[in-house]
Amino acid sequence: MIRLEGVSHSFGDQPVLVDVDLELGERRIAVIGANGSGKSTLARLLNGLVLPTRGRVTVDGLDTRRDGAAVRRRVGFVFTDPDAQIVMPTVGEDVAFSLRRRKDLSPVDRARMVEDTLQRFGLTGLSDRPAHLLSGGQKQLLALAAVMVTEPAVLVCDEPTTLLDLRNTGRIAAMLDALAQQVVLVTHQLDLVLGYQRVLVVDEGRVVFDGPGGEAVEHYQRLMRASGEPPVGAS
């Protein structure tokens, strides 16, 4: 269970999130909102990439401020731009790099886990391919594979399909839907969240709606129409 208790966050004098109280236990949770609403900061709070200015965030009782390393072992994070998290020259090396702290693994076990993960995420046969030569969709699959090989309990994705075409967006969405892990998805693409159990609408640093996907999308669209701005991702 992820808990946010009285959480606020500011960058300098600029408040980004204000008095957020949440318990996140559902298998599929999404976060939507306009640019600058605070949704990406909310996502980064969940695994300690950002620490709250006030309040506390816990994951299964682990405090992100005090137990950051343990939290990040439980909560994986996928960024918008896969180039921001691909760190090794080849596909196989990049996935293997995520296992560098697993001292319990033999070289054979490590190689098997890497190969199994590449196969699972549609990257079979690409182990020796230079990562920079992959397509945009393949890079995002690699970023996802490099996180999932560590077997986190929770996966947080910050707009993972923003840079992708329609085909690869559908591919990534299907991959996320098939995962056994709890997924928290931040996105502008509203059609992706219609079937989600729970969707948070963030506006000006506050969670202004918390409910099923379809109702949340309708609320967000009304909010954007009232502000005079069409919601990104609306059809």
Q: Does residue 111 fall inside a structural domain? A: no
CATH code: domain of residue 9: 3.40.50.300
Mean pLDDT of the chain: 94
Q: Is residue 69 part of a domain?
A: yes
Is the model's pTM score more than 0.85? yes
Q: Is residue 119 part of a domain?
A: no
Tell me the pLDDT tens digit for each residue of 94-120: 999 999 988 899 999 999 999 999 999
Number of domains in the chain: 1
Find the domain containing 79 and state its range.
2-83+151-227
Q: Is residue 73 part of a domain?
A: yes
What is the DSSP annotation of the chain? -EEEEEEEEEETTEEEEEEEEEEE-SSEEEEEE-TTSSHHHHHHHTTTSS--SEEEEEETTEETTTSHHHHHHHEEEE-SSGGGT--SSBHHHHHHHTTTT-TT--HHHHHHHHHHHHHHTT-TT-TTSBGGGS-HHHHHHHHHHHHHTT--SEEEEESTTTTS-HHHHHHHHHHHHH-SSEEEEE-S-GGGGTT-SEEEEEETTEEEEEE-HHHHHHHHHHHHHHHT-PPTT--
Q: Has residue 222 been placed in a domain?
A: yes
In a domain, 77, yes or no: yes
> 138 in a domain, yes or no?
no
Q: What is the pLDDT of residues 161-206, one digit of tens each?
A: 998 999 999 999 999 999 999 999 999 999 999 999 999 999 999 9
In a domain? residue 38: yes
